Amino acid sequence: MANMMDGKHQLKKNKMNNKPFLNYLKKYIALTSEEETLLLAKIKPRVYLKNQYIIQQGDVCKSVNFIISGCTKTFYMDVEGQEHIVMFSIDDWWTSDLGSFITQTPADFNVQCLENTQLVQFSYENLEELYTEIPKLERLFRKIVERAFVASQKRIIRNFSLDAKERYTIFKQTYPKIEQRVPQYMIASYLGITKEFLSKIKSQLIQEQ
């Protein structure tokens, strides 16, 4: 319905290349050309359209995804049908339901595209093999998850020790790009407040200066 028009913007799969992902990797690890070949054989480029789901709550998460371009939201739908957004992800970030992926059990989270999104996907089996074949890659992934864990812990603290206005201010500082790309009611969901209260906060912040 709403996305019937999206076909117009569909990105052509055959035109996609892995360059952006390799450039990202090169910032952190140096691969030999054999390793690069090994890697390229085991990753899969994929395009999702706006509003499509990369992962759905209840399904087993089959991939870890690197975003080449686009934007996604990771959210949980509670028993009352309310969406709770855990994170947004954009270009050069990773997204998955890691809990579902590592245990290969049903996902708690949905990952949905907010824009047409180009990904590089790692399947469970291929990633396991790559860890053994390219230990540098396992090391990088360890570090990525370490950083994600640290960010998650800090967010717990922020949620406890800061009020909604402070959390919103920090959100804007930390994710300036995301703030303009996603609707306000999703930002409210990320902050754990209602869209009405976010509205109130924003008008307060404007009046304050």
Partner DNA sequence: AAATGAAGTTAAACTAGATTAATATTTTAT
Partner DNA sequence: ATAAAATATTAATCTAGTTTAACTTCATTT
- Quote the distance between the C-alpha of residue 186 and its chain's center: 14
Nearest distance, CB of residue 136 and a second copy, angstroms: 11
Is 98 an interacting residue with respect to a second copy (CB under 8 A)? yes
Count Cβ atoms below 10 Å from residue 92 Cβ, excluding itself: 14
Residue with smaller CB distance to a second copy, 156 or 206: 156
Nearest distance, CB of residue 166 and DNA, angstroms: 8
Query: Is the Cβ–Cβ distance between 49 and 3 less than 8 Å?
Result: yes
- DSSP character at residue 13: G
Is 140 an interacting residue with respect to DNA (CB under 7 A)? no
Cross-strand partners of 66: 94, 120
Q: Among residue numbers 127 through 146, which ones bind a second copy (CB under 8 A)?
A: 131, 135, 138-139, 141-143, 145-146
> Binding partner of residue 138 among DNA, a second copy, none, CB under 5 to 8 Å per kind?
a second copy
Nearest distance, CB of residue 146 and DNA, angstroms: 30
Q: Which stretch binds DNA (CB under 7 A): 32-40, 61-69, 133-141, 190-198?
A: 190-198
Is 150 an interacting residue with respect to a second copy (CB under 8 A)? yes
Nearest distance, CB of residue 65 and a second copy, angstroms: 16
Task: Count how many Cα atoms sit within 13 Å of the Cα of residue 28 in the half-sphere of its side chain.
Answer: 14
Tell me the C-alpha distance between 199 and 54, whole Å: 30
| Residue spans of beta strands (DSSP E) within the chain | 43-48, 53-55, 63-69, 71-77, 83-90, 94-95, 110-113, 117-123
Is 193 an interacting residue with respect to DNA (CB under 7 A)? yes
Q: Which stretch binds DNA (CB under 7 A): 2-10, 84-92, 98-106, 126-134?
A: 2-10
Cα end-to-end distance, the chain, whole Å: 42
Is 153 an interacting residue with respect to a second copy (CB under 8 A)? yes
Chosen residue from 72, 165, 178, 190 binding DNA by CB under 7 A? 165
Nearest distance, CB of residue 158 and DNA, angstroms: 11
Is 164 an interacting residue with respect to DNA (CB under 7 A)? yes
By the criterion CB under 7 A, which residues form the site for DNA? 2-5, 163-165, 183-185, 192-200, 202-203
